[in-house]
């Protein structure tokens, strides 16, 4: 690490310590959820940043349990309830949705974090931003929308429109930035092809993706970049955590916004904390770990040492963009709670997805994971893109899974247009239990 980088890391650490201390003081006095947790861990006075690793982790199940036992709002609230102005819900892919409350200050903090993504992607006030999504209780697109407006962009909501109508909005308003999940961006490309709309030649210059792993996967990124004729950026955040990951435009790096979040990284199997990898560690390094996040500015409903469920490879500071913050190489690779084990092999849906994207030629697919007599099996149905030789695609995929995962995964061909398409996050994996 150069002296300059070391000094910038030191300043960052001092800023974190100051903000953590101020947050912990308020939370220790006024937030019943964390006060109880911290007191049980022996902290009768507010912890400092040096105490962080002695504090207990927070899990999603624990927060959901707290909302069940302290209905309807749970006890992770630092201020009197009349100070809160917004509530959002997690998308609830696993278990019951969490409800998350924000004060005006914590909401503004969330938007400020989103601005870091726009800055990293080179988006400015002259841009016209299309947020291709129907606005529901999911927080991601609300924050993307409001942050773009605060940046001075012209911003277009994309709710209650068909995919064809969304393509029209992009054309008519001359949108320069598309914000969408990677799944939906690929869907826009598919429909554009069917309608003979040239998105690569459209006004879109940048695409920003979040909500699910994918945009950091090289094969997906390439497909999006070519399809939109645009630069493709990844973003990461969560309803209960905030917008913690932003792109810098170098390689597939997703920086952790360490000015506002403290990140730890742990081995999921042993629960041990891992040191960040040296920058430039190669793909052959197998380390994938789960991120543990503490936010420093959402004092009304904070998370401290939160097991985010986001899995990736955390690299030490030293990205060639010059930022002093640590980053994820390849973005968020997977969700920890989606993992299943087939004949002793840990399989993440996102790694199967990455292989399918890499192979190319698949318009849509669906996977079924079956548990039978202690055995787990996966089967895949794929819809070939128009003009693809189905049998070649089928055998090619089976061979790819065999080589990469040492697993026989049977692939069946599905009729064109027969598999479901997705507007937000994909839900291509179904689990069947006897
Ligand atoms: Zn960077």
Residue-wise pLDDT tens digits, 315-347: 999 899 999 999 998 889 888 878 788 877 778
| Percent of the chain predicted with pLDDT > 90 | 70
Higher per-residue confidence, 345 vs 424: 345
Cα of 418 vs centre of ligand 1, distance in Å, is 41
203 shares a domain with 121:
yes
Cα of 314 vs centre of ligand 1, distance in Å, is 13
276 shares a domain with 322:
yes
Higher per-residue confidence, 430 vs 294: 294
Q: Residue range 347-367: average pLDDT?
A: 88
Cα of 389 vs centre of ligand 1, distance in Å, is 40
What six digits make up the tokens of 295?
């936010």
Residue 193 pLDDT exceeds 70: yes
Cα of 426 vs centre of ligand 1, distance in Å, is 28
Cα of 330 vs centre of ligand 1, distance in Å, is 12
Q: What does the alpha-carbon distance between residue 249 and residue 114 come to, in Å, rounded to a whole number?
A: 16
Residue 283 pLDDT exceeds 60: no
**Interval 381-406: pLDDT, tens:** 999 998 899 999 999 999 999 998 88
The residues facing 347 across adjacent strands are 340
Q: What does the alpha-carbon distance between residue 184 and residue 132 come to, in Å, rounded to a whole number?
A: 8
Higher per-residue confidence, 377 vs 166: 166
CB-count exposure of residue 90 (10 Å: 0-12, 13-18, 19+): buried
Cα of 251 vs centre of ligand 1, distance in Å, is 8
Cα of 321 vs centre of ligand 1, distance in Å, is 4
357 shares a domain with 285:
no
Cα of 248 vs centre of ligand 1, distance in Å, is 5
311 shares a domain with 216:
no
pLDDT band at 252 (very low <50, low <70, confident <90, very high): confident
Cα of 310 vs centre of ligand 1, distance in Å, is 19
Q: Residue range 121-145: average pLDDT?
A: 91
Angstrom distances, CA of residue 318 to CA of 9, 232, 329: 10, 22, 12
Q: Is residue 370 helix, strand or coil?
A: strand
Residue 148 CA to chain centroid, in angstroms? 19
Count of H-run helices and E-run strands, the chain: 10, 22
Residue 174 pLDDT exceeds 90: yes
Cα of 146 vs centre of ligand 1, distance in Å, is 25
Cα of 277 vs centre of ligand 1, distance in Å, is 15
125 shares a domain with 228:
yes
Beta 375-384 vs 411-413: how paired, if at all? parallel
Cα of 280 vs centre of ligand 1, distance in Å, is 12
Q: What does the alpha-carbon distance between residue 223 and residue 226 come to, in Å, rounded to a whole number?
A: 5
Q: Which of 211, 234, 257 is the last residue of a domain?
A: 234
254 shares a domain with 293:
yes
Going by C-beta distance under 8 Å and a sequence separation of 6 or more, which residues neighbour residue 388? 361
Task: Decide if 223 contacts 215 (C-beta within 8 A).
Answer: no
Task: Decide if 118 contacts 249 (C-beta within 8 A).
Answer: no
Q: Which domain holds residue 399?
A: 339-432
Cα of 132 vs centre of ligand 1, distance in Å, is 27
Cα of 120 vs centre of ligand 1, distance in Å, is 9
**Interval 106-124: pLDDT, tens:** 999 999 999 999 999 999 9
Residue 284 pLDDT exceeds 60: no
pLDDT of residue 95: 66
Beta 314-315 vs 327-329: how paired, if at all? antiparallel
Q: For position 46, which CATH number holds? A: 3.40.50.12780
pLDDT of residue 317: 92
Tell me how crowded residue 425 is: count the other CB atoms within 10 A of its CB: 18
Cα of 244 vs centre of ligand 1, distance in Å, is 14
Cα of 246 vs centre of ligand 1, distance in Å, is 9
State which residues have CB under 5 angstroms from ligand 1, the bound ion.
Answer: 248, 250, 253, 319, 321
The residues facing 233 across adjacent strands are 208
123 shares a domain with 45:
no
pLDDT of residue 203: 98
Cα of 327 vs centre of ligand 1, distance in Å, is 7
DSSP characters over 282-345: -TT----EEEEEEESS-TTS--SSEEEEEEE-EE-S--TT--SS-EEETS--EEGGG-EEETTE
47 shares a domain with 24:
yes
282 shares a domain with 138:
no
242 shares a domain with 98:
yes
Higher per-residue confidence, 287 vs 57: 57
pLDDT band at 170 (very low <50, low <70, confident <90, very high): very high
Q: What does the alpha-carbon distance between residue 72 and residue 70 come to, in Å, rounded to a whole number?
A: 6
Q: Which of 337, 369, 387 is the last residue of a domain?
A: 337
Task: Decide if 391 contacts 356 (C-beta within 8 A).
Answer: no
Cα of 31 vs centre of ligand 1, distance in Å, is 36
269 shares a domain with 322:
yes
Cα of 170 vs centre of ligand 1, distance in Å, is 29
Q: Give how many domains the chain has, as a whole number.
A: 3
Q: For position 379, which CATH number holds? A: 3.30.300.30
Residue 434 pLDDT exceeds 90: no
Q: What does the alpha-carbon distance between residue 350 and residue 348 come to, in Å, rounded to a whole number?
A: 5
What six digits make up the tokens of 189?
């490309």
Q: Which of 213, 234, 255 is the last residue of a domain?
A: 234
Q: Identify the helix (H) or strand (E) that includes residue 107.
A: helix 104-120
Residue 238 pLDDT exceeds 90: yes
Q: What does the alpha-carbon distance between residue 365 and residue 381 come to, in Å, rounded to a whole number?
A: 5
254 shares a domain with 154:
no
pTM greater than 0.85 (yes/no) = yes
Cα of 286 vs centre of ligand 1, distance in Å, is 21
pLDDT band at 260 (very low <50, low <70, confident <90, very high): very high
Q: Considering the chain, what is the average pLDDT of its residues?
A: 91
């Amino acid at each position: 690490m150069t002296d300059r980088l070391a000094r910038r890391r030191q300043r960052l650490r001092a800023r974190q310590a100051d903000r953590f201390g101020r947050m912990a003081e308020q939370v220790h006095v006024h937030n019943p959820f964390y006060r109880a947790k911290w007191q049980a861990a022996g902290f009768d006075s507010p912890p400092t940043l040096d105490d962080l690793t002695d504090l207990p982790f927070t899990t999603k199940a624990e927060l959901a349990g707290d909302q069940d036992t302290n209905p309807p709002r749970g006890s992770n609230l630092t201020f009197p309830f009349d100070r809160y102005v917004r509530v959002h819900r997690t998308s609830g892919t696993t278990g019951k949705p969490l409800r998350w409350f924000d004060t005006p200050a914590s909401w503004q903090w969330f938007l400020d974090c989103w601005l870091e993504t726009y800055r990293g992607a080179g988006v400015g006030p002259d841009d016209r931003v299309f947020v291709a999504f129907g606005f529901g209780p999911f927080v991601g697109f609300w924050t993307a929308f409001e942050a773009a407006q605060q940046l001075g962009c012209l911003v277009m909501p994309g709710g209650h429109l068909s995919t064809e109508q969304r393509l029209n909005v992009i054309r008519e308003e001359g949108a320069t930035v598309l914000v969408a999940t990677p799944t939906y961006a690929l869907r826009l490309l598919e429909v554009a092809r069917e309608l003979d709309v040239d998105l690569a030649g459209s006004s879109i210059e940048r695409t920003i993706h979040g909500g699910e792993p994918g945009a950091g996967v090289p094969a997906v990124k390439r497909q999006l970049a070519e399809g939109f004729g645009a630069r493709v950026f990844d973003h990461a955040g969560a309803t209960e955590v905030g917008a913690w990951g932003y792109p810098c435009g170098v390689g597939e790096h997703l920086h952790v916004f360490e000015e506002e979040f403290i990140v730890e990284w742990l081995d999921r199997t042993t629960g041990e904390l891992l040191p960040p990898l040296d920058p430039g560690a190669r793909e052959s390094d197998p380390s994938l770990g789960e991120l543990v996040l503490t936010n420093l500015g959402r004092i009304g409903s904070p998370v401290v040492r939160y097991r985010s469920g986001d899995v990736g490879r955390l690299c030490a500071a030293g990205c060639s963009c010059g930022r002093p913050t640590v980053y994820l190489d390849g973005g968020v690779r997977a969700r920890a709670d989606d993992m299943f084990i087939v004949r002793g092999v840990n399989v993440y849906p996102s790694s199967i997805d990455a292989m399918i994207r890499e192979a190319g030629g698949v318009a849509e697919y669906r996977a079924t994971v079956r548990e039978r007599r202690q055995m787990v099996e996966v089967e895949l149905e794929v819809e070939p893109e128009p003009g693809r030789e189905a049998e070649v695609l089928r055998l090619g995929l089976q061979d790819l899974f065999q080589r990469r995962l040492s697993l026989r995964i049977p692939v069946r061909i599905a009729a064109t247009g027969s598999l479901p398409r997705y507007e937000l996050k994909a839900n291509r994996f179904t689990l069947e239990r006897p």
